[in-house]
């Protein structure tokens, strides 16, 4: 394979057109006599030999890194992929906040694509909708107005739906204007976007994440906000805590669709190694119908299971004689509520039918855990402690940067107040000098002279005030404000100098988020009954084993003998 490289010193010549025709036997121009045409290289061109294998490796690696860094994997610090982060940032910049009216999703999608994420409006809208779906995220980040879909059906088109930021999303953005995170140029350099959000709660574990990159994938289940914050608070106070210690607070994933998690073995493995499998089961109840027939009622499904797909699968099993004892299947789910009713035949054993349903349908399924996220820009498989420790480290940096920003502002304000109080002591002379000066520069130089000793910033502040404002300055008000500012400076200095105080600030802010947004668990954890054997799938009834004179053996129901009076 050859790569053509233009010489910078010699202008490229226009190659002559080939006169060869397809299928012609006459050679001409750059033709090879077989109907193809080759353009001759000009004398100013050079040919650089390249190994095909090397070029493929380089190109594939570039593509893989781009996919990993820019699309598929979340960041351990804020738990977001770039597309989600850009949507939230754009909505905040455009003012689509919880206290503002809803706006068309088409507007959000188009603006995000134009300013930050040039990868197609379909992918952006899908990401926007997912952040609003209560069956996808344990704690949605987008407040949606319209049809956001269901596990069975997609959402309405973006021109019909509306959205704005959820109050919880504002906690991800909190204090971003105070230099808490780095900003970088967007794809065309016309504006800036954050490399990560400040994130006042551990969103990676709270809402989970799923994605497929090149050569790797991530699958992190959602958790309960209150439990995750409690574990984070424990880790802040006890940095040496183990995964076992943290699992006293984190009972397990809290899937938004409810249902049951069976056993703790899979949970322990997933939290200790970052990989594992969690067994999920639907919440079912056996009830008696109006006509005396027993029925199985499904009210909660495993995470990401489709009620309509389960109903279709049951019907398929019944039609193919793969499942006995079912008379009818009705999916009455609506409005986000699951209500799947399986009516049984009169002679059916409800427990046997239910066990068969668990074995052959999505009423029982596995959630594969693969906790992969970006840590310092590098994909890593995380344990429960790794994920929480990555978040705590991020918060330490965020609070440090915010405190330094506020301290600089407070010191600047204190410096201004000192100048104003100093000016009050010589207010008549200050006014006299200002009036006598030819222009602002002359007045500034006079105030900065040895006679007064104002700094340049203080002199500018005094000159920016009107004379009537200068004369009305209140010493009591200035001294009260200065006292408040100095107390703030002392507090911020303590945060920056004492790690214990800094960690206390993080704990306080996490506690406020928990008190405001935490909700009880919706997914319960039950003991695992183990794998179902053949005896669990077959009805237990009396049989008579008969052997004939011809040495044939068969099993006959005992009821048959009673019916025949034998």
Enumerate the domain spans of the chain.
Answer: 80-198, 281-369, 403-511
pLDDT over 80 (residue 343): yes
pLDDT at residue number 24: 41
Lowest-confidence segment of 31-40, 196-205, 213-222, 366-375 by average pLDDT: 31-40
d(CA 527, CA 261) in angstroms, rounded, equals 8
pLDDT band at 9 (very low <50, low <70, confident <90, very high): very low
CATH of 403-511, one of 3.40.630.30, 3.40.640.10, 1.10.268.10, 1.10.760.10: 1.10.268.10
**CATH of span 80-198:** 3.90.199.10
Angle of the 384-425 helix axis to the 499-517 helix axis, nearest 10:
110
Q: How far is CA 208 from CA 66, 75, 224, 470, in A?
A: 22, 11, 10, 57
Rounding to the nearest 10 degrees, give the CA dihedral for residues 558, 559, 562, 564.
-110
Q: Which two tokens stand for residue 447?
A: 């105030």
* Cα-only R_g, the chain: 35
Sign of CA dihedral 406, 408, 411, 412: negative
Give catalytic residue positions. Answer: 160
Please, are residues 139 and 226 in contact by the beta-carbon 8 Å criterion?
Answer: no
pLDDT band at 122 (very low <50, low <70, confident <90, very high): very high
Q: Mean pLDDT for the chain?
A: 87
pLDDT band at 101 (very low <50, low <70, confident <90, very high): very high
pLDDT band at 470 (very low <50, low <70, confident <90, very high): confident
pLDDT over 50 (residue 298): yes
Residue owning tokens 């507090």: 491
Q: What is the pLDDT of residues 522-556, one digit of tens each?
A: 999 998 876 555 444 555 666 677 777 777 787 76
List the alpha helices (DSSP H) in 196-342.
Answer: 203-207, 225-237, 243-246, 265-273, 307-319
**CATH of span 281-369:** 3.30.1360.40
Torsion-angle region of 550 (φ positive above 0: left; ψ -120 to 50: alpha; else: beta) = alpha
Q: What is the mean pLDDT of residues 169-185?
A: 97
């Amino acid at each position: 394979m050859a790569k053509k490289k233009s010489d910078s010193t010699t202008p490229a010549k226009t190659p002559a057109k080939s006169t060869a025709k397809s299928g012609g036997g006459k050679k001409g121009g750059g033709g090879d006599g077989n109907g193809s045409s080759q353009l001759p290289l000009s004398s100013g061109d050079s040919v650089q030999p390249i190994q095909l294998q090397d070029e493929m490796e380089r190109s594939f690696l570039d593509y893989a890194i781009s996919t990993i860094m820019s699309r598929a994997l979340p960041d351990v610090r804020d738990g977001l992929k770039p597309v989600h982060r850009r949507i939230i940032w754009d909505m905040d910049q455009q003012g689509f906040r919880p206290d503002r009216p809803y706006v068309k999703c088409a507007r959000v999608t188009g603006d995000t694509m134009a300013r930050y994420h040039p990868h197609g409006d379909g992918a952006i809208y899908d990401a926007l909708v997912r952040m609003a779906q209560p069956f996808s995220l344990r704690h949605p980040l987008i407040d949606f107005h319209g049809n956001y879909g269901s596990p069975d059906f997609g959402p309405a088109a973006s021109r019909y739906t509306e959205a704005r930021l959820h109050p919880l999303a504002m906690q991800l953005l909190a204090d971003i204007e105070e230099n808490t995170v780095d900003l970088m140029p967007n794809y065309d350099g016309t504006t800036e976007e954050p490399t990560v959000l400040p994130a006042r709660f551990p969103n990676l574990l709270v809402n989970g994440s799923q994605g497929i990159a090149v050569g790797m994938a991530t699958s992190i289940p959602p958790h309960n906000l209150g439990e995750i914050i409690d574990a984070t608070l424990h880790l802040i106070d006890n940095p040496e805590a183990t995964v076992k210690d943290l699992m006293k607070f984190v009972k397990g994933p809290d899937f938004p669709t409810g249902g049951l998690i069976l056993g703790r073995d899979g949970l322990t493995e997933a939290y200790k190694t970052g990989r594992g499998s969690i067994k999920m089961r639907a919440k079912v109840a056996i009830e008696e119908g109006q006509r005396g027939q027993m029925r199985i009622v499904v009210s909660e499904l495993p995470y990401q299971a489709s009620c309509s797909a389960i109903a279709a699968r049951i019907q398929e099993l019944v039609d193919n004689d793969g499942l006995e004892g079912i008379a009818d299947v009705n999916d009455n789910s609506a409005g986000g509520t699951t209500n799947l009713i399986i009516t049984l035949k009169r002679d059916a054993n409800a427990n046997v039918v239910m066990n068969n349903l668990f074995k052959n349908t999505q009423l029982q399924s596995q959630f594969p855990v693969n906790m992969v996220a970006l840590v310092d820009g590098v994909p890593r498989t995380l344990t429960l402690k790794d994920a929480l420790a990555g978040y705590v480290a991020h918060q330490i940096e965020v609070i440090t940067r915010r405190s330094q920003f506020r301290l600089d502002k407070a010191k600047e304000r204190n410096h201004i107040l000192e100048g104003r109080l100093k000016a009050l002591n010589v207010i008549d002379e200050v006014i006299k000098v200002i009036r006598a000066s030819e222009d602002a520069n002359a007045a500034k130089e006079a105030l900065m002279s040895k006679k007064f000793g104002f700094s340049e910033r203080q002199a500018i502040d005094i000159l920016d005030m009107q004379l009537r404002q200068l004369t009305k300055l209140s010493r009591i008000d200035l001294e009260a404000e200065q006292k408040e500012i100095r107390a703030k400076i002392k507090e911020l200095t303590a945060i920056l100098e004492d790690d214990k105080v800094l960690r206390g600030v993080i704990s306080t802010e996490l506690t406020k988020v928990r008190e405001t947004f935490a909700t009880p668990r919706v997914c319960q954890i039950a003991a695992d009954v183990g794998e179902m054997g053949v005896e669990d799938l077959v009805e237990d009834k009396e049989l008579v084993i008969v052997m004939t004179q011809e040495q044939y053996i068969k099993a006959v129901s005992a009821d048959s003998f009673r019916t025949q009076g034998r």
